[in-house]
A and B are shown apart, each in its own frame.
Chain A
Amino acid sequence: MTAVPHVLPYLVAVWVFLVGCYGLATSRNLIHAVGCLAVCQSATYVLLLAVGYRDGATAPVFSDIEPGSRPLVDPVVQALALTDVVVGATVTALLLALVLQVSKRHGTVDPDELSELRG
């Protein structure tokens, strides 16, 4: 069982991703679905940051530490996570804008009641 702490953060990411997918598939409200999509995306944050972590390391910012004095976590994944956050926020904004229009045009935000496009 000693291996568990070494993979636990990764497993958390997997769990978060799958939970998000489950929520998306069973959602009864489009705003909830957009939230679930954000949950799926959070999995990518967790995974990226977990991949970049290093035991006993500090942030890769040298305004108050001497370069080379301490081990550092991976700065690249942090930059990637930042990009990812921005992407997530903008996609969410667009999705919410679309949900807003769906609710106006269809009078509902329940995916079960949207039946214009099929077959």
Chain B
Amino acid sequence: MHHLLPLLVALPLLGAALLVAGGRRLPRRAAETIGCTVSGATAALAITLLLNSSPPLVEWAGGWVPVNGESVGIMLIGDGPALGMAALASLLTSAALAYSWRYFDEPPRRHAGSFPALMLVFQAGMCGFAIAGDLFNAFVFFELMSVVAYALTGYRIDEAKAVQGALTFAIVTSLGAYALLMGIALLYARTGELAMAQIGRGLDRTAVHGGPDALVLASFVLVLTGLLVKAAAVPFHFWLPDAHAVAPTPVCMVLSGVMVELGTYGVWRVYGTVFAGPGGIPPADLRRVLVVLGVLTAVVGAVMCWYQRHIKRLLAYSTVAHTGLFLIGIGVLTPEADDGIALYLIAHAGVKAALFACAGILLDRYGSVDELALFGKARQLRTVAALWGVGALGLAGLPPFGTALGKAVTEEAVGGALALVYVAASAVTGGAVLRVGARVFLGLGPRPKSDGEYETTGAGERPETRRRLSRVPDTMTAVPALLLAGALAVGTVPGFGGLVADAVNEAGSGGVVVTSVHWTVPGVLLGLASALLAVGLTAVAVTRPALLAAPDRALPLRRLQSGHIGDYVAWLLVGTTLLGVLALPGVLGA
């Protein structure tokens, strides 16, 4: 079975190559059919492998199986989390391709296959990153998914915002990637290895006085910089709203649903295999780094989410907020929290992709994604309204959604004040989404007024379909409905949570720790609390807009999101230094 692991990369790439080779002759329908089929087949393969991943699969590309523990080849990991992420990425790519089925923007002349081909390469990149067990190989696939993501983000070249967002995204992420590579070079210099597990062992072996030194710290900081830029943690997050607000909707579904989360997954993987040993970064320091950044990210993301009127941008900020929650969860380094985050991440992917899909319907129907401009306009879209409302409540963590289950498990694991961050961040982001729904689909409350010039409006956007939709095609509503059903299933299908927990624990602790994942009374209450809070916030925002719209207090924060590449690079440097400072005590103490 393990020989099939590289096919997760090879299959979509082959599909993409065939699509391009057939490019000029292929009619659009055929190109899209091939795209969907190949993407779906890869998803099926990922799921098959996932079901067979206990004990975890390991594959050495090229058949370079280690001799005496040493190999010159590249290791691929096929454990639960790796294959789970690959399966999630594949499923979302398939969903996005199905969503864009025949209705998406005109393909470039004589290149009908280029959009599905790019999506397939994107899928290959994400799968490759998920199953990489070699640090340099992870960098290569990190770059592959980034490069495709830049091109896909800038896909609508007629839009001024789209090309600017894509450029910002490209420059900031590339800089992060080079930092990652610097870190890899430092680790290679110290240990002479590239496979993650071997580097980890090498660090433990060469540790002076049994602890980390400046070299380990620097490589940790550089590697984390790259991954956190991808994960969009504050202060590395500035590119995300700019890029996700302007990317075509099907692309947003994948970007926000899984690519960003792959950064978080990368942090989990790299810490666990490379830096967790005695020669790496002590757990207390990692906890400090991730919890501080996570809380910061959750708060900034939630506050900024609340003040957006550009609907896709609002959803993008909610992704930032959730990234913060994920980082806190993996930062506390308990098996229970890891399980919770895994569930949360899966369900969040479904909910977030569904919400983006609904936003895309608004864009294609009304030529706008602006909350104020669309006030009361979408009254006749009943189905979409229902999907939007369900999605918003799912985002807020209403039981029995998978988001709520994952959140509840994590809240119990992190405990205390951190649990409040979870409740608050999910309530605010869910509330913001619900507020948009109440205004756009129901036209509730007084007509809102614009609250200042320092904002990005979503008006005057061009629909992504060939012309404005007069009726919403079935695929465009079926896809979000299915995604939401998936998110619901994560929380309700009995045994699913236990399966995920077992897979995560087997990879994390080698199966030593056995946790049980199930609904608990406090968990359900906390979930209900955040959902109620979200509804309450919405009610206040809709009926008394003046009460919560205090733009002046959030203005300094909003001014930071300046759209200026230089600013973002400066913040990236600040973030890198911050990482170093936060992790410094462990090195000084060693």
Contacts and interface: CB of A to CB of B under 8 A. Distances in A.
Q: Do these two chains interact?
A: yes
A85 to B, nearest CB: 12
Contacts of B188: 48, 51, 76-77
A72 interface: no
B175 A116 contact: no
B161 A117 contact: yes
B181 A84 contact: yes
A118 B563 contact: yes
A114 B159 CA distance: 13
A99 interface: yes
Interface string B554-588: 00001101111111011001000000000000000
A115 interface: yes
Given A80-B136, A98-B150, A98-B166, A118 B565 contact: no
Nearest to A51: B189
A119 B561 contact: yes
Contacts of A30: 167, 565
Nearest to A24: B569
B174 interface: yes
Contact of B182 (A24, A43, A91, A115): A43
Given A37-B171, A117-B563, A118-B562, A98 B163 contact: yes
Contacts of B140: 83, 87
A4 interface: no
Given A119-B455, A119-B558, A24 B565 contact: yes
B497 to A, nearest CB: 39
B151 interface: yes
Contacts of A37: 171, 174-175, 178
Given A51-B185, A115-B563, A21 B573 contact: yes
B454 interface: yes
Interface residues of B, number: 51
Contacts of B40: none
A7 B573 CA distance: 23
Contacts of A13: 182
A34 B569 CA distance: 13
Contacts of A40: 175, 178
Interface string A47-83: 1100100000000000000000000000011001001
B245 interface: yes
Contacts of B178: 17, 37, 40-41, 43-44
A39 to B, nearest CB: 10
Interface in B159-173: 159-161, 163-168, 170-171
Interface in A89-119: 90-91, 94-95, 98-99, 101-102, 105-106, 111-112, 114-119
A117 to B, nearest CB: 4
A25 B570 contact: yes
Q: Tell me if A's interface is mostly helix, strand, loop or mixed.
A: helix
B343 to A, nearest CB: 33
Contacts of A33: 171, 565-566
B442 interface: no
Interface string A14-32: 0001000100111100100
Contacts of A117: 161, 164-165, 168, 241-242, 245-246, 456, 563
Given A25-B573, A101-B157, A115-B563, A95 B171 contact: yes
B467 to A, nearest CB: 22
Contacts of A21: 175, 569, 573
Interface in B439-456: 452, 454-456
A54 to B, nearest CB: 12
A111 B573 contact: no
Nearest to B304: A119
A116 B163 contact: no
A94 B151 contact: yes
A41 B177 CA distance: 9
Contacts of A94: 147, 150-151, 170
Contacts of B241: 117
A20 B170 CA distance: 16
A117 B456 CA distance: 6
Most buried by A among B170, B241, B454, B569: B569
A24 B171 CA distance: 9
A77 B187 CA distance: 12
Given A47-B182, A95-B170, 14 more contacts: A27-B565, A33-B565, A51-B185, A77-B185, A77-B188, A87-B140, A91-B143, A95-B150, A111-B566, A112-B564, A117-B161, A117-B242, A118-B454, A118-B562
Interface of B: 136, 140, 143, 147, 150-151, 154, 157-161, 163-168, 170-171, 174-175, 178, 181-182, 185-186, 188-189, 194, 241-242, 245-246, 307, 452, 454-456, 558-559, 561-567, 569-570, 573
